[in-house]
């Protein structure tokens, strides 16, 4: 059993939410092992009081594919695939919301996807929009935009790994009313990373949480797979942009537990008169950054 990192042991109030980011090492191609391991860790996280549980990108399969055929062999349909079914059963039994990454097959297309599941079943799927490196050889780019899901724990959007390098992802999530962005990820080292500084991924996601007044929960993997090193550093960030749990170390499997305030009157504004969304100069730049989405800030403005 993994000990939780950042767990206070205190019961959460009705407007507090405990989030778990599960940092572990999937074994490439060993889907049954990985799913069994993920459910064991989900059970532990639920036992620590987490109601929203985020797992890494492609955590059921591993990440370093070497051919389209290999990727296809490890793919599953959503929602009828065995991995999704196993996570649905766990969500129902434990009364939690789960966001987790897998290889989704839809006809002849393959997607680097994340399923969003609560006790009622599969709420939807997010397909990674920005493909990194060899992913472009094996996956189609996401074709379902940037949906926001109504869940028992709040309004959630999903960003996968390299998506997080595009600030539009977080701004559009916030503009659509997302309260939490879940980030299943497989972060790898970036060029010219100086020793002794936070990894770029942590810097980017802290800045995104701050500039959009949104909670961000990042679950990374650890280990070395087919020669590729992964960075760990899972982190849970509040609306002000500061970590409430993590970053974890690179070397350890961890259940990261963080508590965030879901009261919309808290941590939403930078001052009594300033808010990062309502202060936007949409007379100078587009309201929705060119995306075809519906934006409604009436409720947000009423909170100010």
Active-site choice (76, 104, 135, 161): 161
pLDDT tens, position by position, 144-184 = 999 999 999 999 999 999 999 999 999 999 999 999 999 99
Domains and their CATH numbers in the chain = 4-303 (3.60.110.10)
Structure pTM?
0.91
Task: Note the pLDDT of residue 275.
Answer: 82
pLDDT tens, position by position, 76-91 = 999 999 999 999 999 9
Q: pLDDT band at 297, cuts 50/70/90?
A: very low
Backbone angles phi, psi at 163, to 5 degrees: -50, -35
Backbone angles phi, psi at 88, to 5 degrees: -60, -45
Better-scored residue on pLDDT, 106 or 15: 106
DSSP 3-state of 92: helix
Peptide bond into 79 cis (omega under 30): yes
Whether pLDDT at 121 is above 70: yes
Task: Note the pLDDT of residue 185.
Answer: 98
Mean pLDDT of the chain: 90
57 belongs to the catalytic site: yes
Active-site choice (25, 57, 135, 267): 57
Specify burial of residue 70 (Cβ count, 10 A radius: 0-12, 13-18, 19+): middle
| DSSP-assigned letter for residue 186 | -
Task: Note the pLDDT of residue 14.
Answer: 59
Active-site choice (18, 59, 76, 128): 128
Task: Note the pLDDT of residue 256.
Answer: 98
128 belongs to the catalytic site: yes
Tokens representing residue 40 in the block: 């064991």
Task: Note the pLDDT of residue 282.
Answer: 83
Whether pLDDT at 221 is above 80: yes
């Amino acid at each position: 059993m993994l000990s939780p990192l950042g767990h206070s042991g205190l019961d959460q109030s009705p407007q507090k939410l405990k989030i778990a980011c599960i940092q572990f090492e999937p074994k490439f191609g060993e889907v049954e092992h990985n799913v069994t391991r993920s459910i064991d860790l989900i059970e532990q996280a639920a036992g620590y009081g987490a109601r929203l549980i985020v797992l890494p990108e492609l955590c059921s399969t591993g990440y370093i594919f070497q051919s389209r055929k290999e990727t296809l062999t490890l793919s599953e349909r959503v929602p009828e695939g065995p991995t999704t079914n196993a996570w649905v059963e766990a969500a129902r039994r434990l009364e939690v919301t789960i966001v987790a990454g897998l290889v989704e097959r839809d006809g002849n297309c393959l997607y680097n996807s994340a399923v969003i599941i609560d006790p009622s079943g599969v709420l939807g799927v997010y397909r990674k929009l920005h493909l990194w490196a060899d992913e472009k050889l094996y996956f189609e780019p996401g074709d379902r935009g940037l949906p926001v899901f109504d869940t028992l724990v709040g309004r959630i959007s999903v960003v996968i790994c390299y998506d997080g390098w595009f600030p539009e992802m977080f701004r559009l999530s916030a503009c659509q009313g997302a309260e939490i962005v879940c980030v299943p990820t497989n972060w790898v080292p970036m060029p010219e990373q100086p020793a002794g500084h936070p990894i770029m991924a942590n810097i980017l996601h802290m800045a995104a949480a701050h500039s959009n007044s949104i909670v961000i929960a990042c679950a990374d993997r650890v280990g070395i797979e087919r020669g590729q090193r992964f960075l760990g550093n899972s982190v849970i960030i509040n609306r002000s942009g500061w970590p409430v749990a993590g970053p974890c170390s690179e070397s350890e499997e961890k259940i990261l537990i963080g508590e965030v305030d879901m009261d919309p009157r808290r941590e939403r504004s930078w001052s009594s008169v300033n808010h990062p969304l309502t202060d936007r100069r949409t007379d100078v730049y587009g309201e929705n950054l060119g995306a075809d989405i519906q934006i409604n800030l009436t409720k947000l403005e009423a909170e100010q």
